[in-house]
Structure formats: structure tokens, C-alpha cells
Structure 1
Amino acid sequence: MKKTITLLLLAVCLSFQQTFAQMEITGSETYGRIFDLTYDVNVPNKIYAITLGNHLVVSEDNGDTWSILYAMGMVDNGRIDLLKRTADGKLLTFIIHAPNTTHNAVLVFDIEKEAVIRTIPIPNQDALAHITAYDFYEGDMDVLIVDTNFPVGWDREAKVFYTADGGKNWDMIYYTNDFDIVFLNEVAISPSDPETLYLTRGNGKIGIIGGLFISTDAGKTYKESLPGVVLDPIAFHPLDDQTMYVGTGISFGASEEHLYKSTDGGETFTAQNLKWSEGILNNMVSITFNENNPSQLIVLEENEIVISEDDGMSFQNIVYPYDNTDSYYYGLNASYNPHNSKEIAISNNYQPLFSEDGGLTVRTVPNPYFVSTGSNGVFTDGKTTNVYYGVQYGLVHRDVNTGIDTPYNLLPLNAFFNSGTSYFIDTVEANRIYSFTSSFVGSTFNMSADNGASTTQLLSIYKNKVTAIATNPTNTTSILVAFAGYEPGETQLTKIDFSDINAVVTTDITLPVVDYINGITINSRGKITLSIGTDVYVSTDQGANWEASTSGLELLGAEDAINDIQENPLSPGTFAIATSKGIFISNDAAATWTQTSNEKVHNIAFSTETDGAIIASTYNTLTTIFKMQYSTDHGDTWQTISNEQLLNIGSASSSYLFTKNSVTAYVGAYDIGLVEYTIDLNVLGIPEEETHANSMVAYPNPTRGTLNIDLKNHSGIKSSALHPVWSKGYGI
């Protein structure tokens, strides 16, 4: 029989295009944090920036809206850092920052191709070194200097390397142990001479500090300027690199704060006539010239912005409150708009900033890319639809019907400790959430009936966390809560009845065995099904007696875990569990179990609208990266949505909202906030072609490289045709 493989491949490619188009980043723009904002040289109002993770983002409208430009693959929790742009505007450069790993490198990104075209590993990767500063020579991208730090026992050391051939060969040109154990703050190559190097020195361990080291022979020898002065940022005049500025760094009072200017290539310096307000660190972080109007200069200090409009003849200080989370504090770098010299994008310690008047005033730059914290959740009952997501260790409630987001208990960005509060969404009762706050003096379990606007304490307990909650659907003021401590043996299952909120009744339930409980379900008849360790137990008498339901779970060993358990709301008695050894399904009220997927899974959900549809997520751990699986045939077969298709996000939280023909997964990403990924269950099911799909597997998909085609059971395929679908804008 002839196989319609060409048609199938086209359908598969189109289905991936469909799902890719359904990915949106929808978190509130109030909480966005992006860094290293950098203007494009050639395209007006185009700005690049990085997230607090592995994504490069871009704005085409001067920061009003943003999109993902590049998603770096997950590398040992590595993140993109130290974004720069080459002088000709054709390339971006940045580093993989992954301390204590062997994956640190400098990357070169081609703006036109929207792709990384070069990766330059550092020479001391095996020492678990990471990059703290780097600089390319403007006239030759093969010439590069990198400053690296690495662990030595409980201590740290630093080495600086120089290459003139793109990293094929390296020379070590500075080692802290050879130079009085003084660490560097910045490294730079002269814009006009690839062998002239500048190293600004910071603090030392043996009483010797600071100084500017200058080499004219690629680091073989040095002479020193400003000895004993702790220095940090350095900047060269765009028209005359013999004119330069350096600023003092964090010296804890050892060096008087000054902005120094040299007009002879660093031979001599003059302190500029500036008066600084008193702060805590009293240091300069960045010095930036406007390349298109060199008379403009901006200096970012701890709590001051200093600007000059007359080539440094005079300066104006704008002072901000110390540790100001709402506006300027500790700016990291600045970028002038090449097409409007009054506009400056400023990377700031807390939120990105924008100035429309040359730095005199600033405003925040809204964007949706924040660090998701805690968990997220979804509630819907046909009338009310709520989405909840975590940011700044608090909770944001979104009324889906109105589109209004309301935050509760968010911590300020400068909070040193998080609150230790975790949140849980009641899936039975609208607008009800629970919170658990742990502390050294005991923990509290609380309930809110208004999405977090007000709370009532239900229980005080000496436990560390809540691992599972279930509401009785026929008595919604009665819930089961699983508490846990540091060890499995500290697990406690408690029934809480708050029908009288002024007289809450708690009852501890005796368990058949004591281990972590990560999933609980209660059906309309009051039957309790829960996981304890790697087994499932059932009670029909409110926990007085338990029956083990372990047939088929023998594959799970002592090192494994059941992470979630759910019952099909459209087919009572059908259960699914998410485990470290994959997905198991029971069609006989949890009496027996069948493994239908063998990949580690952390949560799972049945469709509330379409029987047979199931979705599951795998979270980021030491051994896994985030991905999703879905089934449209009761779990008999599964399709995978890879981490690459999901823009290489990291996540440890997901929840789902079903309609008749689709499911939207709400994912709390580590660095780009709340992600919505909608799967069209009709399109992706491709039921007519299922037997053909099982005859062949094409992977990886999507790909920019080799596509592998695996033919199953000598399926008799004579030829195939590929119709690739690229998603250029994402650069993966």
C-alpha cells in the first residue's frame, strides 16, 4: 500500500508552524527587567537587550514593544551577559555566564542573519572559570581580551587572556597571584592599536590596591598610572582615543571618588571638578560617549547620573535617592539613540530606564520579561476564569474576562530575603487561594476568598512546605493538605474544615505509610486517591482506612517519585500520574496502572472539555529541561513539544486552560515571565494520518541543521519530500 509520507511531512511542518505562532508572552509589563540596552547603529529606534536568563530581545519602536530575537539553549543554567555592539553595527557580542561549569564563552551574533556565527571558548574552561569582562579590537574581531575568575578551594583567583587569532592561541597576560592579588574591574583594547591594552585594577588582599595598567606590547609588559586608586569604568573619546576617562570603583573609602581625564593615552590624568553626593558604595559604574555627537557624555554612578553636553568642559549631577527601586539606582550602562541625541536607553540595577532629555530625567521601560517565582495556576467554572502567576515572590491575579492583573504581596526588588510564602489555587471554588508562609519560629497556612486581597489564618504548624492540596467538591469548606518537612518521615496529612471561619477544625489523618505526598484527588463521592512516595493509596471513608493501588507501579524504585496525580473529570475512574519514570494511566479507578510514556514528568492534566486529551510538563532540574507532552487518544500515544520549540525557556511551573478544541499552557519562565502556549488539539492530532506518523519519526524539528528520518519496521517508503518552515524572528 502506498504511504502518503509527503503529505504527512507537510502536515507535520505546518502543525509546528501553527504551534509556534501560538506562543505568547503575556505577563504584566510592570515587572519587566531587561539589561544592557543597546541601540542599533543603522535602523532607527531599534534597541537590543538581554533578559536575566538566556534570551536576547529587541524593540523596533524605541522600547514601546519588545520581542524575542534569540534564545540560547539551556546550558547548565547559563545566561547571556555583557551585551555589546560592534562599532560598525553589524554584530552583537555577549558571553555565556555559567559559573563553575565548563561552558563559558564569548559569542558573536550576526544582526542581519539573526544567528550566532561564532563561539569563542575561554582557555581555562577546565578550571571552571567564568568571564567578568572582555573587549574586542574594533578593527579585527580576531583580537580579544578576556578577564576570567575561577574557584580555588574556597577562594577565587583571576587570569586575563589575550588572543590575536580568534581564540586558537591564547596568552595569559595577567594573573592575580603575580600582581599582588589585585583583581581587575575592566579590560579594554585601544580603538587604534590592537596591542595597546588597559586594565583597571580594583581591590587587593594584601594592602595593595588599584591603578591603571597600560601595555603597548599585548600584555608582555605594563606601566602604571594612578597607582593606589581603585578604578573601574574606562571610555575612549570617539574621535581621539588618546583622550579617555576612567572612574573610581568600589574601594570602601580607600580611594577618593573621582572622574579622571587623560589626553595623552593614559600617561597623565586630571581629576574633573565634580562634587559627589554621599552614598554607600560611592563608585562609578559606566562612562559612555555619544558616538554620533562626542560632545555628549554620560556617567552612571551609584545614585547619580552625571551628564556633559560640552565635551567635558562642564558636568551636571542628577542625584537620586539611595537604593531607589522605582527609578534610577546603580546604572550599569547607557546607549545613545544614533538618530536622536536626546534619547538615552539606560540599563539600571532594578528596571530599565529611558531618558528623552539627554539624561536629565528618566522613566521606566515597560516590558514583560521578568523572573517568574513560585507557581502559577488556572481556575475556570464557565463564569469565572482566573489565571495566577508568581513574580517578586508574590502573586498576580488576572481576571481573564476583564484582562485586569492585580498584584498581591509582591516584595520590593531590593528585598534581601524572600518571604518564604508559596501559593496554591483552589480548583473547585472561584477566587479562593491558599498561602503557606514558613519561618524559623513556625509556619502558617492561610486562605483567601478574594484572590489574595485579604487572608485568614487556618493553621499554625511546624512544617517546611505544602506538597499537595485538594478540596472536597461536595463540601468546599473542607480540604486536605499535605505538609512536609526536611525528611519524608515528617509528612503530615491534615483535614481542615473552615465552614465556621471563626472555629476552624483540623484533623490529622493517619497514613498507611509515611512519605512525601505530591498529589491528592477527592471525587464527588468523597473517595480520596493520593500518592505516597512511589505508591498510590485509596480511601473511601475519609482516610480512616487505606488500600494500596500499586499494580503496574513496580517499575518505580526507591529513588523515584510520583510528582502529580489527576482524575479525568469527563471519565471518572480514569487516573494519570506524573512520575520520574514517565506517565502511568489507570482506567479502573486506580486499581492497575500502565506506563504510557517513559520520560520524567512533573505535572499532568486531563482536559475539562474533551475526553481523551491530556497534557503534561517536565520542569527544569539537574537532569531535565522544560518541555511538554500531549495526547489526544487517552494517553495511548504522546507528542512532544521540545524545549527548542518553546524558545529554550526554563521553568518549574505550569498550568492549563482547556477549551473544546485546544489547551493553553501557562508557563512561568525563569527569565521571560508568563508564557502562553496554545495547542490546537484538532490540528496536532492529525487522526487520519496517525498510522503513517507511527511509520516515521523526523527529528529534531524544528532544526537549522541536520534532520534525521527514522523509518519504523521497514515501512516501505520509497521517497520523501521536506517542506521546512522557519521562524526567523526567534533566531533559534
Structure 2
Amino acid sequence: MKRLLLYTLSLLLSFSTLLAQNKLTNDREGVEISNGLNWRFIGPIVGNRGSVVLGHPTEPYTFYFGASNGLWKTEDAGTYWEPVGDAYFKSGNIGAMEFSESNPNIAYVGMGEPQMRNNVSWGDGVYKTEDNGKTWIHLGLKETHHISQVRVHPTNPDIVFVGAFGHAFGPNKERGVYRTKDGGKSWEKVFYKSDKAGVIDLVMNPSNPDELFAVMWEFERKAWGPKTGGPDSGLWKSTDGGDTWKEITYNEGLPEGGRGRAGITMRAADARKVYALIDSETKPGLYVSEDLGENWEFVSDFFQIIGRPFYYSHIYASPHDANELWSPNNRMFMTKDGGKNWILNPGIKDDFHDIWICPRDPKRMIGTNDGGCQVSMTGGITWSSQYTQKNSQFYRVNVDNDFPYNVYGSGQDILAYKVPSASRWGGISGYETTIIGNGEISSVIPNPNDPNIVYNISGGAPMGSGAPFTINNLATGQNEVRSVWPSPLFGLNGYDLKYRFNWDLAYFLSPHDNKTLYLGGNVVFKSTDEGLNWEVISPDLTHNLLERQKITGTPWLSEYFGQEIYSTIKRLDESPVKKGVIWTGSDDGKIYITRDGGTNWEDISITDSTLPEYSQVYEIEPSPHDAAAAYVVFSNFNTYDDYNPYMFKTTDYGKTWVNLSANFPQDQITRTIREDKVRKGLLFAGTESGVYYSLNDGQSWEKLKANLPAVPVVDIKIKDADLVIATNGRGFWIMDDITPLREKSSELDSKAVHLYPVSDHTRFGYNWWLDYVPGGDPGMKKNYFVQNMRPGLTYYELTFKQVNGERKRKFIDAGDPKPLGPAFYFKLEKEPKDIAIAILDKDGNEIRNYTKEQMMLNFGSESDFNTGLNKFVWDMRINGVSRVPDRPETTVIPIVPPGKYAVKLTVDGVSETQEFNIYMSPKESYTQLQADDKFAFWMEMYNQAEARTQKVIEALAKKKEVIEMAELSGNNKAKKQAEVIAKLIDSYEGAYVSTGRTLAEVINLPATILFKLSFLSGILDHSEGPVTTQMHSEFQEVLKDADNADATFKQSIDTELSKFEKIIK
């Protein structure tokens, strides 16, 4: 009943739409024009690791959040988050940010997060905004890679200090403290210690901006673990605005011995008090100075604030109370007595990395952790949710064979998820995402024989040694861990472990036998009973580099949580063409193959002179066309601080390899590669900033950017004609229908016009009626749509017009909707003089057409089409019923039944046609005969609506004619008779269509004939189901009303027109 009421509301609201039409026609601000191939974010709607948070100085509900996926902004205290800077940032990784206090429209962002995990990404310097985040300019310092802090002078926004850590994976000189005095036009390095140590924290005295404190940290991350601490780590101070610096590392009261990471803080509440949280060989803990760092006193070594110092070591002093400190650590702890006693602050997630408290309002604050960020307007008593954020970090991606298909993956330090690729409700909201169980690493694989069974690797650090393979039953909620070897790794060198497993370990379900699992450690394991038993089927398939298997960290504190296990199999896969052909690749450069299911193994490692020894295999892609062919990509950023691409191919089972690296963009590392299942040699590669494709087997590459932000793409799957990707920071994305790439060729490029083959379309949704309900004025105003007993969706209404045949909405707290109909791709060499699209049924009858004028509106453009690739989506409806001028639309617009159709594109007199099929959803229980019968009924309703509408239009034309004749005659008697006729016609019009001027008037008038037909049509919108007896009966009742209205009107109008004719003569 609610659905029918809402559809009724949609009919009534069409009147409101009409009233607003003139105002909206020329309002183009905020209209998103999206032609050709585009990416679609699908979810999940959940946050992930952040690096920096900040509140706007003067806008109380505005906050910013930086992470490995870009910069995010909320204007409603964390209710909704939206990305800013995507169109400007060349890297998506944020490390630091600060606003100018004297001009809050100015802010500086430093790229590259300073949380030096194994999967940390780097940035490209500093960006600046002068309009509160709307636009950004790049200011250089590209090779700093990781910027820990940005400090802006309180009264001069052109004076800025940047704390640059430098490269995480090797030595470089672009480190230290940088200063600009001209707003970033030029930079000078005012403090530098060595090419091994960088700035990990930097503070400015809020009462004296010439006083600065810098924390230097000697650190280097490798694939086998971090080396943290060293002689160049320490504390430094400047009292002259950065011109000179004095070391205070071992000032009175500070600990002796080796130093690791440290954090430092001070606030205006006591401008002489400085706190430092120090990782020390002799006495780690919190220290305080009452005289600006000259002398220090030990305060606390509370274990919750000094745990895992390489990852945390954050300390934050409240701007309101110098004794109130916050320690973002594994949990968020707070003290109000200068650090003597600590209390746990409630939070949503763990692993905190930053916090900010408003200097003007102590209740206004924001923090970030491994699950996103949280805003508090209550001083930390309550926090906003992290489940409206879109910045999850994934390792791998998989899909199932359901319809619509689902996408699977494990998020960094969160959970394992199943996300639908499409929703019958339009936007893919959070409630449609299934939490599979504990996750964090590696792949999530659905069982193709049982949709309720899903496999994943259920944990990270605590069970890193045992490869905690887990079988999850979605029907019962049971999660059963079936580890390959259930033994913890803590305190053991890699060579002391029974088996070694990569943090992002590889495993797969055989494409030839869905009961056989393979999993890689340093050897290959096989199970035929879902992990109850695991059999070793190979020798050690790595270099087994013992020196790289030692516990890492500082000499006094290890950092060994599973990410550091080395000499392991990182990638493992089987040829989809031939059973038993299995390829392995290790993180130390070994590649092996077996052609008999694991009985014999052959070392086929690459010995190309351009490939450094022990290069890390990041992907192996067995060709879907040839069992002897495979592609391998390597990445050496965390082995040699090397950011070059490495890409190879074999066509003879690894006997020889062809180096494809030189053809790839040289400023991109290669993370993954896939070959299309349909077009041989069509390749897709994931890099640190997006996706590239090659049409010629890797001889040349182009970026497949479209609307994808700069973000690491870690895995790619091809599902039918869709490209599905996992990102490390922006969740899952889909490019629907890559047919144009599959068809692209030099021959087609030379054509002036080309209509590409059309992919068959399977219907997936009938409840997307919100697509036809006006949700609010177009523009940047949030609209909330309630979906009856379900969580609602929040979106921007981008336009009342269609774009490429679709209504466009930008969803804020949901995944993007899949186009509701088949997509037509066509290429144009230049703007056409004339263009049209026609849809034909199986008999060649034209059932829908779009003229050039209509298509221009549909493309969101008043003037032209895109040269190159264009896309148009047909909503599977026929041409609509004609509209009575200045009256609400009659929404009897039948959806065609499943069947064979064709699209005809005509450009400047030249036509091309492509056939395609529309299929019924496999989840529907109805037959083709029922769908055809329903369409026949719907068409009868449509024909009646059109015929009756034409009668009303003819009557209105007669009314206009009579009034004009009476006016021209000057005969008062004729004018009075014309008024009588006009009233008769108005009454006749009112029987068919509402004549109310406002929504309230429309609601209070009796339902009209065309409204009743629209109401019946709305019921038919939602399924393929048969027409009920009651609908047939109601339709006949409506026709009786129409016949009576016509008969009464004809009898009266004929009489009155006869009188008028006699008078006018």
C-alpha cells in the first residue's frame, strides 16, 4: 500500500516538477555530464585508516579528514562526507593539513601518510587552496613522499613550514623542514639531518611562531620489515623562525641511549610547556618541559600510550588546558593531570592516528583511526558514525555468479564484505552489504556451488603465522577457522617457523574443480575438503633468504605483526584453460610452474638484466586464452625504493619471457594485471594512481581514468563485460560494459560514425521508482529519500533532465546505481548536423525515438555531442503519451517485455543498426507468456490514454479557435457563447486531467481519467507479473467513465457549437 501511495505522490509531484520547469531549464550549475566509459563506486559504505583530521577555523560544522584515499570534507559535523580535491590531486594519499588562522579560506595539504605500515602509500608534495577547498594548486616538493606536518604562521598565511619525512623505503635528500615565505611559490630547506632521517612531527609555539620544535626519525621500511631508530633520531628546536636549529635530544631529564619515533605537542594555554612522547632504548614514555624544552621531567610510561611506537607515538595537548592530553594509540586515552593518570575515551574503532580540538570550543573535536574518522560536538562523550564514509582499503577482489553479481573483499583492519553490484532501489545502500566475518587481508572467495559458503583469511597479526583460512556460512552465521598451521608467530624469526605465510597470502579455488583449494606459504598447500586437511604439494618455492627473515624493529623493541614475514609465495593461480597448470610467484623474486597439478615443479624465474634481483612478484595472470601464456608484474618500491614498472609475458610456459616494461608509463609502479577473457591481448593494469589498458598486448598503454580518483588499484577482475576493481582507499568500483574497448581498432577509429555492438541487458530492478520521483531542486543541496522500513539514501539531485538517457543522482551515503537499461555506445568524429536514435522491436517497428533536440537535452548539453565515445541508456520504455499543454504528464509509459530489439543510429543521413536482447531477471518466477500478456494490456492502456489525450488536445484547440473568432467578430453575443463553450471544454478537460494550480488543489480534486490510467500503469512498473482480474476490471471502469465523458461532452458541445456558428454568421 505504501508503494502505491508513493507512486501516487510521484504522479502528483510531476505537477510540481512542471511548475519548476521554467526555472530549472537554464540552471546548469552542478550538472554532471558523463559520457562514454565511466567508473561506478559500489561500496562498501565504511571508513578506513586515516592520517590527519582538522576542523575549519570559523565554520563550526565543517571538518576535514585526510587518508590514503584523498581529502574528505563534512559540512554537517560528520553526518556525511564528500571528497574534495579529486580533480586536482595527482596522488590520493594525505599526510597533513592546516588552515590559516588569519585567512580561513587558505589551507595547505601535505601528501603521503606518516603511518609507515607495510601497505603505506606515498604522496607528491604540497597542495594549497585559497577558496576553502573548492580548487587546489600544486606547490612542488614532489620527492618528499611523506609529509607529517604542515604549520602555517598565525598572522601571515604566506609563511608555512612543512615537516617532510621523505621516502619510507630508502634514503633520499628531500627530507627535513621546508619553509616558504611567499605562499608556496618557492621553498627553502631550513633543516636537514641526513638522507636516512626525516621529520615525523613539527610544532609551532602558538604564542611565538618563531619558536618551532621538530622530531627527527631515522626509519626505513622494507618488504621484510622496518628498521626504526638510529643516531639521527632526536628532538630539535628553532627560536628564529627556522633559520637555525639546536639539538635538544639529550637535554636535562631526557633519556639516554637509542631513540625511535617521538611525538611532541604544546598549546597556548601554557606557552612554555612542551610535552614529548618518546620511544627510547632506556626509558620510553611521556616527558614534559616547563621551559620550552631546556629541561625535562619524566611523567609516565603507561603501557597504553607507548605501545607499538613506530605506528603511533602521537600526543596532543588541548588548546584549553595545558594539563589535558590526548594520546591516539591502539585506543584513545586522555589525561587531565598532565599525564599522571589516564582514562579510556569511548570510540568506535581502534588504532587511532590523530585528533584535533577546536581552540574556540572544547566540545568540538575530531579523531581518526583505522576505521575512518569520528566527529564529536560533546567533548568526546559521543561521536559520529563511520558508516557514511567511502574510503575502505582492500587487498583483493572477487565476484560470484549471482544476479546481480556480488563483489567480495577484505578491508584493512576491518571486516570481510559482500557488496551487490547493483540494487533494485537505485543507490547501493549500506544495509545491502553483507558482513561475512572477521577479515583484513588477502582474498574473499565465494563457493560457486553454494551461495551461502564464502572463504576468507580471517585475521591479520594475531594469526599471521598460521594462515587462518576460514569457512563462513552466511545462512547460519557460523565462521570456522581452519588454519593451515595454527601456531602464533610472536617472538620467532621467520626461519624458525614451521611454514611462512605472506601477509597478503595467495589462495584460490580451482576453476576446474570447485572442491579443490590451493594456498601458498613458502610451499604450496592443497585441500579437497574445505581446509579440514591440508597437503603440502611442493618444495620451498622461494629464495629462502635467511637474512631477511629476522625479527625487525628497533634493537630494543621488535615490530613483528605478520606483515614482515618474508620469502613467501605472494601470488598463486591456475590456468583457466588447462587443469593442473599452476603458477607461483614469491615476494623475493622466484617464479615456478607445475603442469601436472603439483607433482613436478619447474623454476622459471626471470633473469632479465633490467629486473633487479629478488624483485617482488605482485601479480601472476595466467592467460584465459592460452595455457602456455602468462603475465607477471613486479613492484620494487618496498624492496629497493624503486618506483619503475616491471611487466613480463611468456607464451611457452616460462621458458622465455618478453619484457613489456619499457612500453608502460615509467612513473607508475605495477600492482596488478589482467587479460580480457574475450579479446586476446586486451590488458588492464592497476597502478598507484589508477588503471591503464592496452589494446595490443602491452605494446602501448593508455590511462582509463574517466571519473576514477587517484588511488592505488590493487586488484582487477573481469565479470562478463564489466571491469571490477579493488582500491586501497576507495572501496570497490565497476566500469559497466567494456564492449567499446573490446571492439576498438584502427579501422573503427577511422570511421566518422560507429555504433558499437550492444550488450544484452538483464532486468534487475523495478522498484527504482525513486528515479521518477523528483527529489528536490537540482544543485548542491542534499535530499533524503526514505524507503519504507529501510535505511534511506542521501543524494544530490543533479538535474531534472536526463544525462545520457539516465536520471542522474550523486549519492552521498550509498554506492552509485547501475544504469536501468541497455547502454548504446557510439563514436562521433565531429559534431553532427543531424542525429537520431530509434528503438525497434523484433518486427522492425519503431517503438521509441529520440530526435537531435531531445538527445541534446538528454546529454545535458544545449549545443553539441562529445567527439569520440558517447553513451546513451534506454530505459526500456516506449514513447510517452502526448501531454496536454500546461498540465501534469500522463505517466502511462509501458516497459517493453523481454525479447529481441534493435537500436538504429542515424547521423547526417547515414544509419547503423545493432541488435540486442532484453532478458527477464533469473530471480523472477514469471513466464515470457505472462510478460507478453502484461505488455499487451499495458499497450491497450497506453493507446487509450493517447487517443483520449488527443481528444482533449483537439477540444482545447477548438476552444482557442472559438475565443479568437468571437474576439475578431466584436459580437458580444458571440463572446458570451464562446464563454459557454470554453466552460464546457474546461469541464471536459477537467474530467481527464487535473486543472489545479497547486499541489494542494490537485490532491483535493477528484481523480481524473488520465490520472487513474497513470495510477494503474504505476502498479505495472514493479515486476514482470501478470495483470490481475481487478486491474482488468478497473481499467474497464475507467474506459466507461471516459466513454461517458466523451458522449456527454459531444452532445453538449455539438449543440453549443451549432449555436455559436449561427451567431457568428
Task: Give yes or no for TM over 0.5.
Answer: yes
| Selected match of 1:198 from 193, 200, 212 | 212
Residue from 143, 149, 160 that aligns with 2:159:
143
Distance in 2, Cα, partners of 1:113 & 1:28: 23
The AA in structure 2 aligned to 1:235 is M
Determine if the alignment matches structure 1 residue 69 to structure 2 residue 84. yes
5+ residue gaps, structure 1? 1-12, 473-477, 496-505, 522-527, 535-557, 566-577, 584-598, 608-612, 696-710, 726-732
Aligned residue for 1:574? none
Take 1:286 and 1:468, find their aligned partners in 2: how far apart are those partners? 45
| Mapped partners of 1:511, 1:221: distance in 2 | 55
The one of 688, 692, 714 equivalent to 1:627 is: 692
Counterpart amino acid of 1:643?
A: K
The aligned counterpart of 2:243 is: 219
Aligned equivalents of 1:303 and 1:101: distance in 2?
21
Give the deviation of 1:334 after TM superposition.
1.0
Counterpart in the other structure of 2:524: 443
Q: Letter of the 1:469 partner, please give it.
A: E
Residues in 2 aligned to 1:206 and 1:559: alpha-carbon distance in whole angstroms: 36
**Residues 304, 429 of structure 1: alpha-carbon distance in 2 compared, 3 angstrom cutoff:** closer
Residue 480 in 1 paired to residue 562 in 2?
no
* Worse-matched range after superposition: 79-88 or 271-280: 271-280
In 2, distance between residues paired with 1:564 and 1:666?
A: 29
Give, in angstroms, the shift of residue 444 of structure 1: 0.6
Q: Against the structure 1 CA distance between its residues 314 and 80, is the aligned structure 2 distance closer, same or farther, given a 3 Å change threshold?
A: closer
1:370 partnered with 2:392: yes
Kindly provide the CA deviation profile for residues 485-527 of structure 1, in whole angstroms up to 9, marking residues without a partner as x: 66888421124xxxxxxxxxx7669999999984365xxxxxx
Once the two structures are TM-superposed, the CA of residue 563 in structure 1 deviates from its matched residue by 9.3
Asked if 1 retains the 8 angstrom alpha-carbon contact of 2:147 and 2:163, the reply is yes
- Residue 98 of structure 2 corresponds to residue 84 of structure 1: yes
| Counterpart among 434, 437, 442 of residue 404 in structure 1 | 434
Query: Equivalences for 1:579-658 in 2 at 5 Å?
Result: 602-606=673-677, 618-620=684-686, 626-628=691-693, 642-643=704-705, 645-658=707-720
SS in 2 for 1:249: strand
Q: Does structure 2 conserve the Cα–Cα contact (< 8 Å) formed by 1:328 and 1:353? A: no
Alignment check: 8 A CA contact 1:423 1:435 kept: yes
Indicate the SS of the match to 2:286: coil
Deviations 1:288-315 (A, max 9, x none): 435xx67994421646755467xx7998
SS in 2 for 1:602: strand
Specify the alignment match of 2:282 in structure 1.
253
> Residue 672 of structure 1 aligns with which residue?
730
- On the 8 A contact 1:298/1:305 being kept in 2, the answer is no
On the 8 A contact 2:394/2:727 being kept in 1, the answer is: yes
Aligned length in residues: 578
Q: CA–CA distance in 2 between the matches of 1:514 and 1:221?
A: 49
Which one of the candidate residues 303, 316, 330 is aligned to 1:287? Answer: 316
* In 1, Cα distance between equivalents of 2:164 and 2:363: 36
| 2:112 is equivalent to residue 97 of structure 1 | yes
Structure 1 residues 693 and 649, CA gap change in structure 2 (3 angstroms) = farther
Unaligned runs of 5+ in 2: 1-30, 115-119, 219-228, 256-261, 424-431, 438-455, 465-488, 490-500, 542-568, 608-618, 632-645, 654-658, 665-669, 756-827, 834-861, 868-1065
Answering whether residue 196 of structure 2 is matched by residue 165 of structure 1, we say no
Q: Find the aligned partners of 1:159 and 1:517 in 2 and give their Cα distance.
A: 39
Partner of 1:571: none
- Whether contact under 8 Å (2:52, 2:368) holds in the other structure is yes
Aligned to 1:551: none
How do 1:328-347 residues align onto structure 2 when only pairs under 5 Å count? Answer: 328-329=350-351, 331-336=352-357, 341-342=362-363, 344-347=365-368
Indicate the SS of the match to 1:369: coil
Measure, in 2, the Cα distance between the counterparts of 1:665 and 1:141: 45
Report the CA distance shift for 1:348/1:435 in structure 2 as closer, same or farther (over 3 A): same
Local SS of the residue matching 2:379: coil
Are 1:469 and 2:574 counterparts?
A: yes
More strand by share: 1
- Which residue of the partner structure matches residue 519 of structure 1? 622
User: CA 1:42/1:406 → structure 2, altered by over 3 Å: closer, same or farther?
Assistant: same
Compared with structure 1, are the counterparts of its residues 286 and 19 closer, same or farther at alpha carbon in structure 2 (3 Å cutoff)? farther
Q: Distance in 2 between matches of 1:19 and 1:142?
A: 41
Cα distance change on mapping 1:643 and 1:682 into 2, 3 Å = closer
1:77-126 superposed Cα distances (whole Å, 9 cap, x missing partner): 8832123333354233222339999985222134545221341437xx5x
Distance 1:341 1:166 in 2: 30
CA contact (8 A) 1:48 1:57 kept: yes
TM-score (norm 2): 0.44
Q: Look up the SS of the partner of 2:182 in the other structure.
A: coil
Residues 112/470 of structure 1: CA separation in 2 closer, same or farther (3 Å cut): same
* Alignment TM-score, normalising by the size of structure 1: 0.60
**Pairing partner for 2:264 from 222, 226, 233:** 233
Q: How far off its partner does 1:668 sit?
A: 0.8
Cα distance in 2, alignment partners of residues 600 and 333 from structure 1: 29
Q: Which residue of 1 aligns with 2:409?
A: 389
| Cα pair 2:314 2:353 within 8 Å, conserved | yes
Report how far residue 372 of structure 1 moved.
1.9
Question: 1:581 Cα deviation (Å)?
Answer: 10
Which is greater in Rg? Answer: 2
Shift of 1:242: 3.6
Alpha-carbon shift at residue 669 of structure 1 (Å):
0.9
Q: Deviations over 1:332-366 (max 9, x none)?
A: 32124789754532123676455575346779734
3-state SS of paired residue (2:595): strand
Structure 1 residues 112 and 426: CA distance shift in structure 2, 3 A: farther
Q: Residues 591-648 of structure 1: CA distance to partner in whole angstroms, max 9, x if unpaired?
A: xxxxxxxx999323457xxxxx9995522359x95135799xxx9xx99772253222
- Give, as a single letter, the amino acid of the residue that structure 2 aligns with 1:233: I
- 2:327 counterpart residue number: 300
| Pairing of 1:104-123 with structure 2 (within 5 A) | 104-110=124-130, 112=132, 114-121=134-141
- Give the residue type in structure 2 aligned to 1:647: P
Q: Residue 392 of structure 1 contacts residue 411 of structure 1 at CA under 8 Å; is this kept in 2?
A: no
Aligned partners of 2:191, 2:591: CA distance in 1, in Å? 53
Would you say 1:35 and 2:95 are equivalent positions? Answer: no
Change (3 A) 1:670 1:338: same
User: How much has 1:26 moved relative to structure 2?
Assistant: 0.9
Query: What CA distance in whole angstroms lies between the structure 1 residues aligned with 2:321 and 2:77?
Result: 22
2:40 paired with 1:23: yes
| Structure 1 residues 641 and 459: CA distance shift in structure 2, 3 A | same
Mapped contact 1:626–1:649 kept (Cα < 8 A): no
